[in-house]
Amino acid sequence: MMKWIFIIVIALSLSGCADVADAEDSPTTTTSEQQTRTADASATTWIAVVLRWRPINRVIDKEFSTEVACWNYYENGIGDSKFGPQVLDHQNNPPTKEYNFGPDYLEYPIRIYRGLKGEGQVWLTCDLKGRNQGL
């Protein structure tokens, strides 16, 4: 009898049937484990935070996997089409990394757009999702 059980166990493990269930699919996953996974994801997920001044409104525009991907998304006219013309420096160039009046932990500058249809200035920054709870 033990010989047959051993053969069945070996056959199932070789066929891949024993590896069907996954820890994330398991009903025994606790709420605490799910919250930890969500917290880990927000620590690595970058968001585009948009602040509109008329009326004052701060929202998440889009999520990204890296800070660079966030900034690159708004280049080449996408930011201008969504938020109006970008505010440029005195030499008519987009702001550089040195033009950063935001928090020190951010590598890239805060972008400012003129706004569309009288909404006033629009500020755009990319930040970690975990630092912006409640948006």
b/e map of 3-13 (b: 16 or more CB within 10 Å)? eeeeeeeeeee
Q: Is residue 103 part of a domain?
A: yes
Q: Is residue 26 part of a domain?
A: no
What token pair was written down for 72?
A: 């690159």
Q: Which residues contact 58 (CB under 8 A, 6 or more apart)?
A: 49, 50, 51, 52, 135
Number of separate domains in the chain:
1
Q: Is residue 22 part of a domain?
A: no
Question: Per residue of the chain (135 residues), what is the pLDDT tens digit?
Answer: 544 444 444 444 444 444 444 444 445 545 544 444 444 555 689 999 999 988 888 999 999 999 889 989 998 889 999 999 999 888 888 777 676 666 666 767 788 899 988 788 999 999 899 888 776
Give yes or no for a cis peptide into 85 (omega within 30° of 0). no
Give the three-state DSSP class for 10.
helix
Q: Is the pTM of this model over 0.75?
A: no
CA distance 82 to 61: 10
* Residue-level pLDDT at 105: 67
Q: What residues make up the domain containing 135?
A: 46-135
Helix (H) or strand (E) holding 125: strand 122-128
* Three-point CA angle 116, 128, 97, nearest 5°: 65
Q: Is residue 71 part of a domain?
A: yes
Q: Is residue 9 part of a domain?
A: no
Q: Is residue 27 part of a domain?
A: no
Q: Is residue 124 part of a domain?
A: yes
Q: Is residue 41 part of a domain?
A: no
